[in-house]
Structure 1
Amino acid sequence: MIDLIRDYGRAFLYSDGFQTTGLAITLWLLVVSIGLGFCLSVPLAVARTARRAWLRLPVALFTYVFRGTPLYVQLLLLYTGLYSVQIVRDTEALNAFFRDGMNCTLLAFTLNTCAYTTEIFAGAIRATPHGEIEAGLSYGMSPFTLYRRVILPSALRRALPYYSNEVILMLHATTVAFTATVPDILKIARDANSATYMTFGAFGIAALLYALISFTLVWLFRRAERRWLSYLQPARPR
């Protein structure tokens, strides 16, 4: 039994193609896509709440498309669909980029989480108390300074519980990476199952790894919420 568990562990945590572990690939996909998606979503959320239609409508279309279609379909379109376009093959840089499954996976994950995060942050911006905005304007702040010092810090804090759900869902969504032959946890599990025909053991270890990562992320976000959202908690009676 111990030997079997050790063999499963090696099958899950080692990949010959990338000379790294399936767990590391999953975490890499999650961290990079979430980081890039966050950086893109902040300015897009500001544009999403803008009064000017030429700023607001393109962002609304982007979020509608990527939230309205499955991530699996988006990955297939980027990995196999765009590469079949002649102009992509004829352009050296595009050909090199879309030929790599990891690049296509990261692009699909980044655009998908960016769309959801943009709507989360845009909703938090709209929910900013009007009194905070008036206070900033009374100090003579410009629109840029008002967003930088009042609206965005307040909105990002209040969006933290909803954003934590998006990160957890993005972790679960990384399971489609095997479509682009990326050796994440699930692909290693599928390979282990094909080699040993021990389905429960192979996918059971995969489920355990995903659960451990999820619990760690939940714990980290709960600590962040206690630190940055403590001012929203009701005062305790003395």
Structure 2
Amino acid sequence: IINNAIKFTFTGQVTFDVSMIDKKIRFCVQDTGIGIPKNKLDKIFKAFHQLEDQSRQTEGTGLGLAISKRIVKMMGGDICVESEEGKGSKFWFEISLPEVFKKKKNENSHKWRNVKGDGLRVLIVDDNLLNRKFFMQMLKMNNFEIYEAENGFQAVEQTELIRPHLILMDVMMPVMNGIEAMSEIRKNPANKDIVIFAISANTNMENECQEKPGTCNEFFRKPIDMDYFYRKEK
């Protein structure tokens, strides 16, 4: 429905609104597009139906609204429409959804929040910015000094500059991967006491780390078990 609204609106706007109506959730899409003739409103939900004027302007199979209506009916609702040719259209439907209750947190969950950094330096190495931000947010609140690098080469350089206490090292990275970076870091005797956690979604990388003893202190598979990470970090 949103896709159609955008497709057939050349000036003005498309709005999407979600609200509660009599304990039901209403989803509403309204646009200022080309609109639909009143004598065509009863046909738009039929499979393979396209309005003649619309089919000349855009491509499509004519199945979108038919499928949408069927899905909404399966959820116990129905799609309604109001439209005026040349002024726009409004589609909405209401459905009842079960209430979602928050799960009780495990008493050990997120205990890492209680870990005190006390100014300890942590180097986060990952080519994915979102992954780096995840660890940065997790550790900053605990008074760690956070540094970051986006590949293994930068990690080696940063290590020599700041001498971190802990390195969180992604394994699969461009320029220089995590295993190569850890090997380079360990070549310097001054880095022997740095704790390095290797991280990867690729379980084969764990075997490679094990084949090079001394490179990392621990290997974590993505997605990370935060309780286990907390225990190791502590």
Instruction: Give me the TM-score of the superposition, normalised by structure 2.
Output: 0.18
Q: Which has the higher strand share?
A: 2
Instruction: Give me the TM-score of the superposition, normalised by structure 1.
Output: 0.18
Q: Which has the higher helix share?
A: 1
> Which structure: larger Rg?
2
Higher relative contact order by CA 8 Å / sep ≥ 6: 1 or 2?
1
